[in-house]
Amino acid sequence: MKQKTGRRNGNGEESKNRLTLFLDALRGNIFSIQKEYSLKNIPLTSETIGQKILHEEKNEQHTLVNICKYHNDQYKELVGIQYSEGTDRKFKSALKSLENFIQWEFEYQDIYITELNHQFITDYEFYLKSVQKMQHNSAMNNLKKLKK
C-alpha cells in the first residue's frame, strides 16, 4: 500500500482498479454516514459506522433526552391522581438542565443511553454546581431525577 494515498500498490492493473473503486465507495459511504449524523446532530461512533456499512445497525437506539421526555409524559398523566403539579415542574426543570448540559458539554441535542458512564454523571454534577450555580442538595435532586 502506498503510504500517502492509502491505495494498493500492485502489479495487476485490473485488481488495482477494482480495489481502488472499492476503497473509494467505502470512503464515500463513511462520509455520507458522517454527514447524515452531523445534520441530525447525533453523536457518531466508529461502531455505528461499522454497523451502518455492514447493515447490522440496531433497530432502535434509545437516547437519554427521549427517555426522559417519555418518563415526563407518563408522569404528567398521573398529576392530580398520584403526583402534584409541583413535582411535574421539577421533572421538567431537571430535563431542561440535562438538555442544556448535553449541549454545553458535547454540543449535541441528545446522546445515546449507551454513552452514559460515571464520567458523564460527575461532569453533569459539576455543570449543575458550577455553571447553573445550584447548591449541593439541588444538584443531588437533579441527579436523583436522572437516575429515575
Is the pLDDT at 75 greater than 90? The verdict is: no
Residues 23, 69 within the same domain: no
**Taking all residues of the chain, what is their mean pLDDT, rounded to a whole number?**
85
Q: Domain residues for 21?
A: 1-59
Residues 114, 72 within the same domain: yes
- Are 64 and 108 contacting, i.e. CB atoms less than 8 angstroms apart? no
Q: What is the pTM of this model?
A: 0.58
Q: 9-32, pLDDT tens digit by residue?
A: 556 666 667 888 888 888 888 888
Q: Cα(42)–Cα(57) distance, rounded to whole angstroms?
A: 15
Is the pLDDT at 7 greater than 80? The verdict is: no
Grid cell in block for residue 139: 444538584
* Residue where the block lists cell 441527579: 143
Count of the separate structural domains present in the chain: 2
Q: 9, 27, 59: which is the final residue of a domain?
A: 59
Grid cell in block for residue 140: 443531588
> CA-CA-CA-CA torsion for 100, 105, 106, 108, nearest 10 degrees?
10
Residues 17, 4 within the same domain: yes
Residues linked to residue 63 through DSSP beta bridges, in sequence order: 112
| pLDDT at residue 12, as a whole number | 63
Residues 36, 73 within the same domain: no
Residues 46, 105 within the same domain: no
Residues 115, 87 within the same domain: yes
Q: 44, 59, 74: which is the final residue of a domain?
A: 59
SS3 83: strand
Residues 49, 78 within the same domain: no
Q: 12, 31, 59: which is the final residue of a domain?
A: 59
